Structure 1
Amino acid sequence: MMVGHAMLAFAVATAVAMRRWPSERALAFGIAAGAFAAVPDVDMFYAVVGLAQAGVGGVWEMTEAFWGSSHLVHRAVTHSLVVGIIGTAGFVGSVTDRWRPISGLLLAGLTAVAFAESGLLGGIVMLVFAVTGVAVAVALARATDLGPRALVSAALVGLLSHPFGDLFTGAPPRFLYPFDVRLLTERVVLLADPTLNLLAVFGVELATIWLAGYVYLRATDRRVFAHIDTRAAVGVAYAIAAITMPAPTMEVSYHFVFSILAVGMVGVAPHLLPSRSVLSAEWDEGVTWVLTGLTAVSVAGLTYTLVYVIYPFP
């Protein structure tokens, strides 16, 4: 759900902002919310340590080492509503002269608490979180005309929405960290069948990206079908994967995720396959390639699901 966090925050923030601001400013606000929504996942940096320790080996061994290391801290220290609120004040305060000293104290306090609660690793993760959040705030303050109040709103949307997006894919976040209170102890399961549950979560992710795409096109006065090429129908061929590959689950999904995302490459290969736009697509625009690839992946996911349901799996 890493991409989905940013996309959801962008879509919600932009759609709401368009009710009171011009499209360009609303898009800037949405981009700010999306950028802040991605910050909590900097805790994944520790997974690089596990990958380095595993060394160069097979794809699956390296992937397992990556995720195995990430689970030590992922969704604990940075995926907290408490940390999100304090972090918002610290991040945005760092770009204002008046509040910069208080910002430093708040972020230093977060790091100290994480160190006391989760040891050296937790403290380092919180420090990386703080530095990244400040960098995002500074970049947005320089690149946009959003004032401190708008940045606070964008940061709250991004940081507070992020933990909820992780309820379907793994261990629930510690919503109230550093307090030892667990709101949920198990992830939310949409369907009993483990493969269909994975496909449902994958569908939610795709729907989130589609929502963000629709909001962006609406803000820029474009039509969805004008940027989808008929080559996206290539995704139908992915149905064969439901028969030839082991059925994926939330625990073992790498082969499914890597292969179905590869289908989206059709969107950036305009000269390799015949192309014919659905409604006069403009091929010099990157948005056309993105939407064509997204459509191909969506078609692939749908056909895979249909074959999985119909085909008698052992």
Structure 2
Amino acid sequence: MVGHTALAFALAAGVAAAVGLPRERALLFGAVAGAFAVVPDVDMGYAVVGLITILADGPTQFPEAFWETGNTVHRGITHSLLVGGLGAMLFGLSASHGRRRIAGVLGLASLVAVTLGVLGGLRAGVVSLFVLAGGAVVVGARVGGLDAGETAGAAFIGILSHPFGDIFTGTVPHLLYPLDIHLLPKRVMLSADPTVHLLGTFGLELITVWLAMTVYLGLRGERVWGRIHRRAVLGAGYVGTLLALPPPTLSVSYHFVFSVLAVGLVGVVDLPTPELDTARSKLSLVTTGLAAVTIAWLAYSAGYLIVG
């Protein structure tokens, strides 16, 4: 989800700034697009059934039962460019006034009703969650001060960019659902080596986060390098986990993901050095932690390629 939000924010805020929107409005536009980018993943709500299965059958079913249940509908209807484009348009209308708002609300309700009649109750329930989540973002956008056109634009960027962020992480989204047309193969691999594929995918995620951070700081008149403390190089020590942990893959990645993200704590821990960053702030902590994670990923990747 972080990658989806970061990519949508970077695209939206960057475009908004390029067309001349004031800084604060461009940031708000990007933030709303980032929120819309999370909306398609409400289809994982069905994985709650998997949690119930886990409670009934015991912990040996985790995480298989959770993911297998969630994947029943995951990356289907809410990840469709057709449904997402229609939803974005209707969210924009519902952010308007008078008859246009009524048309938008009725359109969203009709989307749920048609899904129920054509695809059944399960997918209608997923679309209902999609509509409710998107509606909540619309309310937030209105409170923040975006007009209907800006809200629609943020919805299009956020919702339609989401599926492309899932191309390398497991099963590829059905981009033209419910049409029986597949634009991409079911799996897109960066490498035949599953560990190299995971490391490449993780690297793409880091790139999107850095892109978002660069756009954000750029709109604030700052540079990324000025917000990174040199202790981030400590992340290079993560290469040692090559000897302690099994090589990660998409199927078994928890030990890698959680441990490499933990390296980011160097951004929030003060070291006994007399030369602390004079520009310390919460943002500096985040950028330093992100830099440490990036260095850890680079070190681990290089070590794996050399050793493997």
TM-score bracket, shorter-length normalisation: over 0.9
Distance in 2 (alpha carbons) for counterparts of 1:310 and 1:67: 33
Return the alpha-carbon distance in structure 2 between the equivalents of residues 274 and 304 of structure 1.
26
What are the superposed Cα offsets for residues 106-140 of structure 1, whole Å, 9 maximum, x if unpaired?
21222123334443221111100001101101111
Q: By how many angstroms is 1:281 displaced?
A: 4.7
Give the aligned partner of residue 136 of structure 1.
137
The aligned amino acid for 1:167 is I
Given the superposition, is the C-alpha separation of residues 61 and 220 from structure 1 closer, same or farther in structure 2, using an over 3 Å criterion? Answer: farther
Give distance in 2, aligned partners of 1:139 and 1:208. 24
Matched residues in 1 for 2:135 and 2:245: separation?
Answer: 44
Q: 2:82 matched to which residue of 1?
A: 82
Q: Is the 8 A contact 2:89 2:156 kept in 1?
A: no
Aligned to 1:290: 286
Dislocated runs of 4+, deviation >4 Å: 275-278
- In structure 1, distance between residues paired with 2:10 and 2:124: 32
CA distance, structure 1, for counterparts of residue 173 and residue 161 of structure 2: 12
Separation in 2, partners of 1:173, 1:198? 18
- CA 1:281–1:155 in structure 2 vs 1: closer, same or farther (change >3 Å)? farther
- 1:208 positional shift: 0.6
Give 1:137's aligned amino acid.
V
Partner of 1:310: 306
- Does residue 93 of structure 2 align to residue 93 of structure 1? yes
Q: Which residue of 2 aligns with 1:238?
A: 238
Deviations 1:65-109 (A, max 9, x none): 332222111100200111111111222222223222212222122
Q: Distance in 2 between matches of 1:80 and 1:162?
A: 10
Cα 1:92–1:277 shift into 2, 3 Å? farther
What is the number of equivalent residue pairs in this alignment?
A: 305
1:120-172 per-residue CA deviation (whole Å, 9 max, x = no partner) reads 221111100001101101111111x3211111111111111111111111111
Distance 1:176 1:117 in 2: 16
- Give distance in 2, aligned partners of 1:263 and 1:192: 28
Distance verdict in 2 for CA 1:89–1:306, change over 3 Å: same
Question: Structure 2: how far apart are the matches of 1:185 and 1:99?
Answer: 39
Q: For 1:61 and 1:291, locate their aligned partners in 2 and report how far apart those are by CA, in whole Å.
A: 37
Q: Give the RMSD, CA atoms, in angstroms.
A: 2.0
Tell me, in whole angstroms, the C-alpha distance in 2 between the residues paired with 1:110 and 1:209. 33
Distance 2:273 2:83 in 1: 48
* 1:105–1:179 Cα change, 3 Å: farther
Gaps of 5+ in 1: none
Which stretch has the larger CA shift, 293-302 or 108-117? Answer: 108-117
Contact residue 6 and residue 158 of structure 1 kept, 8 A: yes
Report the 3-state secondary structure (helix = DSSP H, G, I; strand = E; otherwise coil) of the residue aligned with 2:63.
Answer: helix
- Displacement of 1:179: 2.1
CA distance in 2, matches of 1:63, 1:263: 24
Quickly say closer, same or farther: Cα 1:160–1:300, change in 2 above 3 A. Answer: same
CA distance in 1, matches of 2:90, 2:234: 47
Structure 1's 29 and 240: CA in aligned 2 closer, same or farther, altered over 3 A? Answer: same
Aligned AA for 1:282?
A: A
1:274 matches 2:275: no
> In the TM superposition, what whole-angstrom CA distance separates every residue of 1:215-273 from its partner, at most 9, and x where no partner exists?
00000011212221222222112111122211111222121111111111222233xx3
What amino acid does structure 2 have at the position aligned with 1:287? Answer: L
CA contact (8 A) 2:93 2:152 kept: no
Distance change (3 Å), C-alpha of 1:275 and 1:116: farther
Shift of the 116–275 alpha-carbon distance from structure 1 to 2, 3 Å rule, reads farther
Q: CA deviation at 1:52?
A: 3.4
TM-score (structure 2 length as normaliser)? 0.92
Deviation at 1:276, TM superposition (A): 7.1
Pair 74,274 (structure 1): closer, same or farther in 2 beyond 3 Å = farther
Partner of 1:6: 5
- Judged with a 3 Å threshold, the aligned counterparts in structure 2 of structure 1 residues 21 and 276 are, in CA distance, closer, same or farther, namely farther
Structure 2 portions without partners, runs of 5+: none
Q: TM-score, normalised by structure 1?
A: 0.91
